[in-house]
Structure 1
Amino acid sequence: MTQAFCEATEAVSKIDNFFALVPTHRWSKSFLAHFFNSWKATHLKMLAIYGLSCRLQRLALANPYSVREQLFMAGAFNAETSYEDLGLDYGCQTHAELYHRLGCFWITIPGN
């Protein structure tokens, strides 16, 4: 994981810079609603879970048997966490719900 972030330093920097800009301007409600809903729909929920599971499986296939089993198990446990945002037997607030509240906060700031 650390290696992946190191290899993607430029892309990660662009994302950091964008999020640093969000609180510096008075964006329109339309822009904020579009941004937060798009980000939630494409990146927040399943993409991260799926991406990490895929990386763990690729690492498993590239390693000796003794390490392979542990990486496959880590991938399986990571995928299992998707129950939270799918709402399966989960009685607490999900990341998606918290993110929705964050988006609503930005849209309801006076002056927006």
Structure 2
Amino acid sequence: MSQVTAEAVYKNFTQLGSNERARFFALLASPSTQGENFSHDQVFGHLAEDEFTALEAAEYLGVSISTFRRHVSHGRIRASGEVGRNQLFATKHLKAFKRSLQDVKARGIAVAAS
């Protein structure tokens, strides 16, 4: 009997389209897994050194691809590598940029409320 490994699951996961990845995360959030406490590192730790395509990065940031490209053209986000004509973006840089976007939104809401 063959045992499923984390590496095999991850390999299959990386081959999923973005809609299927979203469904995967929805399944993880379902009540059947609520009794288990997974840390952020347990779920996303393997992505810490990963790189995203522009489309994946835009999805992660919750912006359109055109907005993402505008951030890149203004130098707010820099590519960490290239494969052919496609730029790749480091997870750690995207995470930091997402935090900065959230900080700007929070400050804007605080100013509007005062």
Q: TM-score, normalising length from structure 2?
A: 0.31
Query: Greater relative contact order (Cα 8 A, min sep 6): structure 1 or 2?
Result: 1
Q: Which has the higher helix share?
A: 1
Specify the structure having the higher radius of gyration (Cα): 1
Q: TM-score, normalising length from structure 1?
A: 0.31
Q: Which has the higher strand share?
A: 2
